[in-house]
Amino acid sequence: MNLLIVDDEYYSAEGTKKKIAQKGPVFDEIFCAYNMTQALEYFAGHSVAVMILDIEMPGGSGLELLDHIRQQGLDTICIFLTAYAKFEYISKAMRLTSIDYLLKPVGEEELLGAVTKAVNQYRQQKNARLDTQQANYWKESELYLWELFWLDLSEGAVSSRKEGIASELNLRNLNPAAAELSYLILLIQCNGMEKLPVEKDLYEFLLKNIAREYFYNREEIPVAVRQNRQFYFLPLPEAGHSREALLSRCTQALTDFVPRFPNTFNFYIAASGCRISEFQETLKELQDAAMKNVSLENHVFDLAENAKTDTAGAEVAFSSKRWSDLLLSRKISNLASEADMFLNTLQHSRSITRDTLSHFYYGFLQTLFRCMETANEDALPLFQKRIAQFSVEQACSSIQNLRDWVDAVLKLYEEYGLNASGRDAAVISVKNYIHTHLDHELTRESLAAMVYLTPDYLSHLFKRETGFSLTNYIIYERIEEAKRMLAGTDRSISEIATRCGFQNISYFSRQFRRFTGVTPREFRG
């Protein structure tokens, strides 16, 4: 019985090995690998009962390694390591996959307890595993082949013509009788996956495995295919899944596992069962329904019912004149509040579609460009270039994304909408404030907030108007004040440094020499 430790941190791996060798269960061999390649080389020549593996490693993550060995039919018991502290919501979902985890740094008692638990689990499964190893290998390989087939079919790499499907299944060593079965297609839409801060692959891995366990019967091949970060689909054999039961299961999922994830989900059930030859058309109908929905989250859609109640998208009309007046008078916060209220009202309309949001998007954009042309025509091309960096499709995919887009473009307008006199006034205000507050802590953020600009834009504007970077200008003014005090007062050098905003006298001396060529003491001379 062998233990494999996979961790790109050498001392962490060796420390784990030493603890287990001294006080843990007895293994024939404890081997350390420091990347995915070394781990696979060890698997090539050894059987591994238990594997402790880090999730994040250069050259291949722990999840990729686990996927690789699972595809080979190996059932090594795995214990994941993670260095991320905010792991509570992941751990709840992870427990559904029968995979343990440890949070770095790992205490000795916790480590040994997890390894002992894994060894006991391995021993309990050993006899059954030896008897069924070949069967399990084929089952997992078959799952992989089926998922690849459905993915290729969804992407058009496999012809959907009836006469070609059976031969394609034969070619892939899959049961050609499946071509005659009817499938109830379930589409799972994952909203906000692109905004997850860390470990996106882990969330996707968990979702796929939970979906397999949650929606399929034990005797079925649990096909769950990810098309992209947003969509997963499950072709459920209609013989084992009634529409009513699937609706109930999806509704229950909103309580059972959806809350364990930090993003939101929608479930779409096809209007009717379909054969493989009809799958591409059915999938398109499901995706079209998902793309039309821009207001509801954590919701179950039955296309058989929705087809009876489809309505046209709601009309969008906001007060273009009032919003233009707010822009031109630079009451940006007032406009942001009104836009937010408008979108909230829109969100409660059940008839809105993506087209509804697109109408708002382009109407609002036209208002912005028209007002920018009036406020600061010279800045219009650059403003338009910055706006073009946003994705229309992303902005119009949901009310929340559109709300985020409005906030972002209003901040840009606030930056670029200043006319020449406004730019001059902002720079003069900042310069005056710096001159009268040299002994205060002066930061880009605080100075930008004072004139209602972003720090980056203030820095850009200040450099353009004065020729100085904001940081260098602050230091220059402090040095000039220090020169006046050195020449005209008897205060000590350390007191002068403090009064001019330098908390560290050695830093003050370096900057003074940098701007004057001499030290403060030499200057006073």
Per residue in 175-207, pLDDT tens? 999 999 999 999 999 887 666 655 667 777 888
Q: Where are the domains of the chain?
A: 2-139, 177-309, 320-416, 421-524
pLDDT in tens, 120-157: 988 887 776 666 655 555 567 888 999 999 999 999 88
pLDDT of 86 > 60? The answer is: no
pLDDT: is 83 or 435 the higher one? 435
Q: Give me the residues paired with residue 33 across strands.
A: 6
Residue burial 383-411, b: 16+ Cβ < 10 Å; e: rest = beebbeebeeeebbbbbbbbbebbeebbe
Q: State the chain's mean pLDDT as an integer.
A: 85
Residue 363 CA to its chain's centroid (Å): 29
Stretch among 75-84, 91-100, 393-402 having the lowest mean pLDDT: 91-100
CATH number of this structure's domain 421-524: 1.10.10.60
What is the mean pLDDT of the segment spanning 91-99?
53
Specify whether domain 2-139 bears CATH 3.40.50.2300.
yes
User: DSSP letter at 239?
Assistant: G
100-103, strands of its sheet edge to edge: 29-33, 2-6, 50-54, 77-82, 100-103
CB 191 within 8 A of CB 297: yes
Residue 136 has a pLDDT of: 53
pLDDT: is 418 or 271 the higher one? 271
**Helix H or strand E segment including 108:** helix 108-154
> Hey, which CATH number is domain 177-309, 3.50.50.60, 3.30.70.270, 3.30.2320.80, 3.40.50.1000?
3.30.70.270
pLDDT in tens, 356-370: 888 889 899 999 999
pLDDT in tens, 295-307: 788 899 999 886 5
Residue 188 has a pLDDT of: 95
pLDDT in tens, 21-69: 999 999 999 999 999 999 999 999 999 999 998 888 888 888 888 888 8
Residue 422 has a pLDDT of: 64
Q: Give me the residues paired with residue 187 across strands.
A: 233, 268
Residue 487 has a pLDDT of: 92
pLDDT in tens, 297-350: 889 999 988 655 444 455 566 778 899 999 888 888 889 999 999 888 887 776
